[in-house]
Structure 1
Amino acid sequence: MTDTAGTPPDDPDASAGNRPSWLRWAALGSSVVVLVAAGTGWWLYRKLDGNITTDERAVTELKRYERDRPAPVPRGGRNILLIGSDTRAGDGNAEYGQDEGTQRSDTTILLHLSARGHGVTAVSIPRDLMVEVPDCRTARGKRAAPRVAQFNTAFQAGGTACTVRTLEKLTGIRVDHHMVIDFQGFKDMVDAVGGVRVCVREPIDDPDAHVKLAAGAQTLDGEQALGYVRARKSLGGGSDTERMDRQQEFLGALVTKVQSNGVLLNPARLYPVLDAATKSLTTDPGLDSLKDLYDLARRLRSVPTEKVQFLTVPRRPYHADPNRDELVQPDAGRLFRRLRADAPVVVLPPGERDGGATTPPRGTDPAPETSPSPGATPGGRGSPSPAPTYTGTNAAASACP
């Protein structure tokens, strides 16, 4: 009988030695794929993070006036100033706006994020609103004397810091963060989300804004969208009122598009949006990283579109020049006071505003009905005061059917 002694078939060392080589190669390949993916992800993160420009000059200037600035919104609310610059500086901007060094704020929106569940309120500040512009440091280090002028001249005089100080003086609301975006960045963002659908109420043919559109529902690409939100001279008799309405409606439609799963949950579509946004963005240090912007986007995404409200600060033709604007009081003062106190703001479409006031639940409005003063803080508690209504729209209503 032949001796069959040898290595037992269930010997673990022998099994390992006989393991197919393709298993080892598969394990090695998987490891390489994981490492490459991790490296690529880190590279993309660093690239997007490095796209953002930090506005150190504005931060340094604002620190000089810290004692004069308003108190922050209570309970963790935040105010972010969005500025659309009409500068020609930057790639793709040569055919638009002003020469570098004479740029003004083409669009200015104060974005209030409530910490008390009231949603997001976006308040447009008319570029032609007559305001007190404080003494501001220019780009050349000189001081521009204080004066009464159009709101958008503040950006020309002293950049973002001067615009922030002018707004804070006007409203008594502290600006926690700011973002400045140029024309090219706006166009790239719209293209990155695949265009934005809007309802064009009447045909638009505005050579100065580089736009020609037929009436009706349309999906606008970046170039068309920029013209759509900038057109003024060919519509509404040259007034800025209709233009701000279109800007608000467009931003509402853009919010709806970005909040859709087709963008936020699709890496192939989300990356171009982030790349376009970060390339054109100048922010304060509190928002100058991809993580900061992601946290902000996540907070905005959690707000239902019907709670993202848009309105324009109450104003009327300026008494000394009907081509300029001035605030309507006490409506404007009440609005500013409610935002300072993080109290609810009631915004209704133009056809639904009842002209009266509604009363919010008791305890929702801690501040008294007083006009704002620069640097003011919310007043003491008392009986609830009525919540005035304002004409505007929300992101849900802005979407075109």
Structure 2
Amino acid sequence: MTGQDENGDDGRRAGRRSRALKTAGLVLAGALVLGAGTAGWAFWHLNANIKSVDINNALGDDRPAKAVTTPSPSASASPLPTGSLNILVLGSDSRSGEGNQELGGGSSAGARSDTAMVVHIDAGRSKATVVSIPRDTLVTRPSCPLSSGGSTEVAYGTMFNSAYAIGGPVCAVKTVETITDVRMDHFIEIDFSGFAKLVDALGGVTVTTDEDIDDEDSHLTLEAGTHHLDGRTALAVARTRHGIGDGSDLGRIGLQQKLVKALLEQISSTDLLTDPAKLYKVADAVTGSLTTDTGLDSLSELMSLGESLKGLSAGEVKTVTMPVVTAASDVNRVVADEPEAGELWESLR
């Protein structure tokens, strides 16, 4: 009897362990399915966020030549992209969407390129030069194709940021390529809302200002010194111009370049891979307000670009402004200072 009781208890315990293991297995399987489904939904959502413009098809072959890079012996062994890149990055003041309206976007009839930077990444993907183009620069705007058909007229001595206003990203890219003779491999645009959300998703950025700022237009009052800024305040710093220096775009560009460095430093100091929720929040902030060319209009392509830049630190990013002088025709406008401007662009080809 004792032996039978023991065997019976062992059998019941084995049965309970079997049922427990089966239940645990079902729970684990369900969690894996749920996790895979959530990850799949997140990827789909982030991918669907990205808007794109087919720059290459719109502009055709009448463009500067692409940079030719001799592959290194180890390049074939690496799946990551190699070679230098020139990327036109625009910050637009679009009023599209409730978030942009709340942050003071442009007129509802359109948008302007409030910020324009050419980002040159060297062939080793370990150094970069960011060149700001003042929006008040007088340029020759080329004829640009329009999405509705036809094309714009050539305009002489017109403000640089009018290119985006009249012909969108396509005309902005063509104008930059015309004045620089540098091929833009990619185009990226982020609007007000996206910039502010990105800063907030990263937990803010730390910036040091050299002078007091008091600008009624951007609603910004900030004493000189080091400040940790949230998204709304960081955007106000990026937009302010009348409260600093001589009130020109050049003072604002200096602040924008500080913000670029601050963002890079914040990203590098934040271990996003160990915090999936924060990583998703950052990715959603970026992709939700992003417009790119068709070569970067998927999450996988953006991730590939990001992975190829993992060796690029904030300390290896140089920020400069296209050399300019006051325009003879208008003291409130500038023109490229030659030959210095031409020499700068030549160094990026």
* Alignment CA distance shift 1:17-1:161 (3 Å): same
Contact 2:126–2:309, Cα closer than 8 Å, also in 1 = no
Which shows bigger deviation, 76-85 or 16-25? Answer: 16-25
SS in 2 for 1:298: helix
In structure 1, C-alpha distance between the alignment counterparts of 2:146 and 2:21, rounded to whole Å? 67
Output aligned runs, 1:45-56, within 5 Å.
Answer: 45-56=43-54
Instruction: Determine the C-alpha separation between the residues in 2 that align with 1:101 and 1:140.
Output: 16
**Residue 270 of structure 1 pairs with residue 279 of structure 2:** yes
Q: Deviation at 1:237?
A: 2.1
Partner SS, residue 98 of structure 2: coil
1:74 aligns with 2:68: yes
SS of corresponding position for 1:323? strand
Q: Is 1:302 equivalent to 2:314 in the alignment? A: no
Q: Displacement, 1:264?
A: 4.7
Cα deviation, 1:165-202, whole Å, max 9, x if unaligned, reads: 11111111101111111111111111110110111222
State how far apart, in whole Å, the 2-side matches of 1:18 and 1:268 are: 37
The amino acid across from 1:81 in the alignment is L
> Aligned residue for 2:220?
211
C-alpha distance in 1 between matches for 2:339 and 2:31 = 64
Could you tell me whether the CA contact under 8 Å between 1:258 and 1:264 is conserved in 2? no
User: 1:274: how far off?
Assistant: 0.4
Query: Which residue, out of 205, 208, 216, partners 1:196?
Result: 205
Q: Deviations over 1:267-317 (max 9, x none)?
A: 222111100100000111111111111122222332122211111111111
- Pairwise CA distance, 1:139: 5.4
Q: How big is the shift at 1:24?
A: 1.7
Going from structure 1 to structure 2, the CA distance change for 1:326 and 1:48 (only over 3 Å counts) comes to same
Worse-matched range after superposition: 206-215 or 160-169 = 206-215
Distance in 2 (CA, whole Å) between partners of 1:82 and 1:142 is 26
Residue 40 of structure 1 deviates from its aligned partner by 0.9
Percent of residue pairs bearing the same amino acid type: 41
Match for 1:249: what amino acid? K
Question: Following the alignment from structure 2 to structure 1, what is the Cα–Cα distance between the partners of residues 106 and 52?
Answer: 23
Answer yes or no: is the 8 Å Cα contact 1:101–1:156 preserved in 2: no
Deviations 1:367-401 (A, max 9, x none): xxxxxxxxxxxxxxxxxxxxxxxxxxxxxxxxxxx
Does the alignment pair 1:89 with 2:96? yes
Distance 2:243 2:48 in 1: 40
After superposing the two structures, state which structure 1 stretch, 84-93 or 187-196, moved more: 84-93
Which one-letter code corresponds to 2:305 in the other structure? L
Structure 2 stretches of 5 or more lacking a match? Answer: 70-82
The Cα offsets for residues 96-115 of structure 1, whole Å up to 9 and x where unpaired, read as 24213342210000111111
Residue of structure 2 in register with 1:228 after alignment: 237
- Name which of 136, 139, 145 aligns with 1:131: 139
Offset at residue 241 of structure 1 (A): 0.9
Instruction: Please say if residues 126 and 311 of structure 2, whose CA atoms lie closer than 8 Å, have aligned partners that are also in contact.
Output: no
Counterpart of 1:226 in 2: which secondary structure?
helix
- The answer for the alignment partner of 1:146 in structure 2 is 154
Cα shift at 1:248: 0.4
Number of the residue aligned with 2:179: 170
**Residue 111 (1) aligns with residue 123 (2):** no
Deviations 1:19-64 (A, max 9, x none): 54212211221111111111111111111111111224x444223x
**Distance of aligned partners of 1:266 and 1:39 in 2 relative to their CA distance in 1, 3 Å threshold:** same
1:62 aligns with 2:63: no
Unaligned runs of 5+ in 1: 341-401
Q: Which moved more, 1:324-333 or 1:86-95?
A: 86-95
Question: Does the 8 Å contact 1:209/1:227 carry over to 2?
Answer: yes
Aligned length: 328
Residue type of the partner of 1:313? M
Q: CA RMSD in A?
A: 2.2
The answer to whether the 8 A contact 1:77-1:115 is kept is yes
- Cα 1:210–1:139 change in 2 (3 A) is farther
Answer yes or no: is the 8 Å Cα contact 1:81–1:179 preserved in 2: yes
Return closer, same or farther for 1:93/1:314 CA change in 2, 3 Å cut-off: same
CA contact (8 A) 1:129 1:326 kept: yes
Q: Secondary structure at the residue paired with 1:309?
A: strand
**TM-score, structure 2 as length reference:** 0.88
Give deviations 1:195-245, integer Å, cap 9, x for gaps: 101112222221211222222211111110110011011222211111101
> In 2 relative to 1, CA 268–337 (structure 1 residues): closer, same or farther, beyond 3 Å?
same
State TM-score, norm by structure 1.
0.77
Residues 280-299 of structure 1: pairs in structure 2 closer than 5 A: 280-299=289-308
